[in-house]
Amino acid sequence: MVSIKELARKVSAMLGSGDCQVLNADDQGWNLGRYVPDTSQIGRDLELYKTVSLDEEILRTALWNGWKEES
Protein backbone atom coordinates (compact mmCIF):
# COMPACT_ATOMS: atom_id res chain seq x y z
CA MET A 1 0.00 0.00 0.00
CA VAL A 2 1.19 3.53 -0.77
CA SER A 3 0.14 6.57 1.21
CA ILE A 4 -1.10 9.72 -0.53
CA LYS A 5 2.04 11.48 0.69
CA GLU A 6 4.30 8.80 -0.81
CA LEU A 7 2.31 8.84 -4.06
CA ALA A 8 2.56 12.64 -4.34
CA ARG A 9 6.32 12.48 -3.87
CA LYS A 10 6.66 9.68 -6.42
CA VAL A 11 4.58 11.53 -9.04
CA SER A 12 6.55 14.74 -8.43
CA ALA A 13 9.85 12.90 -8.81
CA MET A 14 8.73 11.16 -12.01
CA LEU A 15 6.92 14.01 -13.76
CA GLY A 16 8.08 17.24 -12.17
CA SER A 17 10.92 18.85 -10.37
CA GLY A 18 10.90 16.43 -7.49
CA ASP A 19 9.87 19.19 -5.11
CA CYS A 20 6.69 18.33 -3.31
CA GLN A 21 4.93 19.83 -0.32
CA VAL A 22 2.13 17.79 1.21
CA LEU A 23 -0.16 19.88 3.39
CA ASN A 24 -2.11 18.36 6.28
CA ALA A 25 -0.09 15.15 5.95
CA ASP A 26 -0.58 14.03 9.53
CA ASP A 27 -3.18 11.28 9.73
CA GLN A 28 -5.62 11.89 12.56
CA GLY A 29 -7.04 8.37 12.44
CA TRP A 30 -10.02 6.80 10.68
CA ASN A 31 -11.62 8.99 8.04
CA LEU A 32 -14.33 7.48 5.81
CA GLY A 33 -13.52 10.04 3.11
CA ARG A 34 -10.04 8.54 2.76
CA TYR A 35 -11.04 4.89 2.97
CA VAL A 36 -9.52 2.64 0.31
CA PRO A 37 -11.11 -0.81 0.21
CA ASP A 38 -9.13 -4.03 0.12
CA THR A 39 -9.56 -5.45 -3.39
CA SER A 40 -7.72 -8.73 -2.85
CA GLN A 41 -10.87 -10.89 -2.62
CA ILE A 42 -12.39 -9.61 -5.85
CA GLY A 43 -8.99 -10.12 -7.47
CA ARG A 44 -9.04 -13.75 -6.40
CA ASP A 45 -12.71 -14.28 -7.27
CA LEU A 46 -12.46 -12.73 -10.73
CA GLU A 47 -8.81 -13.69 -11.32
CA LEU A 48 -7.79 -10.06 -11.76
CA TYR A 49 -4.17 -9.32 -10.99
CA LYS A 50 -1.90 -6.31 -11.27
CA THR A 51 0.00 -6.41 -14.55
CA VAL A 52 1.37 -2.85 -14.64
CA SER A 53 3.75 -1.33 -12.09
CA LEU A 54 2.81 1.82 -10.20
CA ASP A 55 5.54 3.77 -12.05
CA GLU A 56 4.18 2.63 -15.43
CA GLU A 57 0.62 3.49 -14.45
CA ILE A 58 1.64 6.97 -13.28
CA LEU A 59 3.32 7.57 -16.65
CA ARG A 60 0.36 6.18 -18.65
CA THR A 61 -2.11 8.29 -16.68
CA ALA A 62 -0.01 11.44 -17.13
CA LEU A 63 0.32 10.89 -20.88
CA TRP A 64 -3.41 10.15 -21.22
CA ASN A 65 -4.13 13.45 -19.45
CA GLY A 66 -1.93 15.43 -21.84
CA TRP A 67 1.43 15.49 -20.04
CA LYS A 68 4.31 15.70 -22.49
CA GLU A 69 7.55 13.86 -21.83
CA GLU A 70 10.61 16.10 -21.95
CA SER A 71 12.92 15.10 -24.79
pLDDT at 67 over 80: yes
- The whole-model pTM stands at 0.64
Q: What is the DSSP string of the chain?
A: ---HHHHHHHHHHHHS-S----TT-S--S--GGG-----HHHHHHHT----S-HHHHHHHHHHHTT-----
Q: What digits encode the pLDDT tens for the residues 16-65? A: 888 888 887 666 666 656 667 788 888 889 988 778 999 999 999 999 99
pLDDT at 28: 65
Domain boundaries, the chain: 4-23+32-64
